[in-house]
Every structure is written in C-alpha cells, then in structure tokens.
C-alpha cells in the first residue's frame, strides 16, 4: 500500500483482456494510435482491468471489481481474458485483505468489465462477493443499466447489480458524493450518462481514478480521441476538457484503468501541447 498523508491506496489487477482496436480507439486512425500501442496482426490490443483499493478514515474502499469469476469458458475466450496472480481476489489477498474486509465498493459504472466481480453464483443464487460491503453507483447509471437499449444490452447484465438492490446492498447516488474526507465520487458523464470517477485528496495532494472518462492515458491528453464505447461522445469531450484543466492546475495524479503502459501519471503542458509523465510507486 502506498501512503499519502491519511490515505493509503494500491492499484490491483484483475487481468488483461484483448479487444479489437476499433473499440478503444473508435475513429482515431491506426497510424496515429499505433504510436502509443501496437495492435497484433489480428488488430487486437490489450486492456488491463485495474481496480483501486483505498483506506481512508477507517474505511476499506474498493473501486470497481473487474470481470469476476462468473464468466463461462466461451465468454472468457471471447474477452481473451488472461489472469495473473489470481485476479482481483488474489491481489487483495496478497495485501492481507479478504473480501469481507471491504466496507464500500464504488462502481464507476455498470459495464461488465467494471462490475461483474460484484457478485458470484453460490448454490444457484447470486450473492455479493464483498459480503459486508455497501455498493455505491450513480442512480442514473443504475436506471440506464436496468433498461438497456440495442447498443448497451451487450454490456449491462442484471446479474452484476440487480441482486444487490434486492438484498438492500446497493446505494444509489444523486450526483457528486462524499465517501470520506479524502474520497469523493464525482460525476464524469460521457462514456455513459451516469459515469463517475473517484477523487482522492489529502492536504494539497489530489488524485483521480479516471475510469472510462479516458480508458487509455493518451485519451486524457487528447480529448478528441474517443472510444467506440462512449455513449455520449461530445459530452465526454467536454468532461475531459474540464478535468484536464483541473489536473493541470492541481498537478494531480491520474489513475488509468485500462492502459497497459501508464497506470498513474501527471498531465503536463509544454508549448501548448499536453502529455503525460508517468508516476512509478515504490
């Protein structure tokens, strides 16, 4: 665990999936995005499944839960899922954290690669993996996930969140919400209407778990670079522009969820061009 003031945090890895580059980079020409990541001959690129464990004011908080353990063999093959170190649960165990130790799970949104690890199938019943935790998600996100359309029904699956509501474990948020003095949920719409990122703060230090506001670091530096998964692309550009300004002003640490090369970075501006400078933890 890395400590800054009162906060402790660790980036945890639930595995890597391989997806067609047209998903993460949409209309960005290949000759541009391949300067940052090289596709395979089949045009596949890796997306890591990072989650964040935070300890703050006596609370153990987990941000996103990855793909979990409910995938069928065919689904895991379709994702191209590779797991190292036992996935999220194994990585938690390496820090001495059991699922029952988690007090709050924050879902940035309810796409399957961010929340399928919320629940597991035990004796024919969907149960929360983090049995003591309250799960937090924006109400708007829950509403859209509960009524998917032709575009979103392939990634919103009720088994990942509906049982939590039935069991009284789901807290629906109405906009920006304090978790602790050092942890806040902040609405960052565009990828989905109810997408949220997580703001960390202690003294003058600021961090932001970006989630899918910018799946890869370069998409934070270049706000017009969008994924094909962004449901509201123009709104996502506006959101990134706002948080770009904030990140530059605060010299914030940005935590990226899917980038296999840049996990944490600062955004800097030189000669009118924005770029990322990586941060490596001891």
- With a cut of 80, say whether residue 84 has pLDDT above it: no
Q: What is the pLDDT of residue 63?
A: 98
- Model confidence band, residue 151 (pLDDT cutoffs 50, 70, 90): confident
- Model confidence band, residue 124 (pLDDT cutoffs 50, 70, 90): confident
- Token pair for residue 262? 């840049």
Residue found by looking up tokens 């990072």 in the block: 50
For residue 107, count CB atoms less than 10 angstroms from its CB and return exposed for 0-12, middle for 13-18, buried for 19 or more.
buried
Q: What is the pLDDT of residue 225?
A: 97
- With a cut of 80, say whether residue 282 has pLDDT above it: no
- With a cut of 80, say whether residue 204 has pLDDT above it: yes
Is 194 within 8 Å of 142 (Cβ atoms)? yes
Higher pLDDT, 153 or 111: 111
Is 155 within 8 Å of 145 (Cβ atoms)? no
Per CATH, domain 2-278 is 3.20.20.150: no
| Average pLDDT value over all residues in the chain | 96
Q: How far apart are CA 257 and CA 239, in angstroms?
A: 17
The per-residue b/e assignment along 231-249, b for 16 or more CB within 10 angstroms, e otherwise, is bebebbbebbeebbeebee
- With a cut of 80, say whether residue 259 has pLDDT above it: yes
Least confident range of 37-51, 83-97, 201-215, 231-245: 83-97
Percent residues over pLDDT 90 in the chain: 94
- With a cut of 80, say whether residue 85 has pLDDT above it: no
Q: How far apart are CA 112 and CA 51, in angstroms?
A: 13
Q: What is the pLDDT of residue 29?
A: 96
170-197 pLDDT, tens digit per residue, is: 999 999 999 999 999 999 999 999 999 9
Q: What is the pLDDT of residue 272?
A: 85
Strand partners, 114: none
């Amino acid at each position: 665990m890395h400590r800054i003031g009162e906060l402790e945090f660790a980036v945890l890895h639930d595995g890597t999936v391989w997806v067609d580059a047209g998903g993460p980079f949409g209309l960005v020409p290949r000759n541009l995005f391949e300067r940052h990541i090289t596709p395979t001959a089949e045009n596949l690129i890796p997306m890591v499944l990072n989650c964040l464990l935070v300890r703050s004011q006596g609370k153990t908080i987990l941000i996103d839960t990855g793909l979990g353990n409910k995938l069928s063999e065919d689904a895991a093959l379709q994702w191209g899922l590779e797991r190292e170190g036992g996935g999220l649960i194994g990585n938690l165990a390496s820090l001495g954290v059991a699922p029952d130790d988690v007090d709050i799970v924050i879902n940035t949104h309810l796409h399957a690669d961010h929340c399928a690890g919320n629940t597991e199938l035990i004796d024919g019943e969907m149960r929360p993996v983090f049995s003591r935790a309250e799960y937090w998600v924006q109400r708007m996100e829950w509403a859209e996930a509960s009524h998917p359309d032709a575009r979103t029904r392939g990634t919103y699956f009720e088994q990942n969140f509906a049982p939590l509501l039935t069991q009284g474990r789901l807290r629906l948020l109405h906009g920006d919400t304090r978790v602790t003095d050092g942890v806040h949920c902040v609405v960052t719409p565009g990828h989905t209407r109810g997408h949220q990122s997580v703001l960390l703060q202690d003294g003058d230090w600021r961090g932001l778990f970006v989630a899918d506001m910018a799946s890869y670091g370069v998409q934070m530096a270049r706000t017009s670079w969008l994924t094909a998964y962004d449901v509201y692309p123009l709104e996502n550009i506006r959101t990134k522009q706002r948080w770009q300004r904030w990140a530059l002003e605060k010299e914030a640490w940005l935590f990226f969820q899917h980038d296999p090369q840049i996990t944490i970075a600062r955004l800097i501006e030189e000669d009118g061009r924005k770029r990322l400078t990586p941060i490596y933890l001891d």
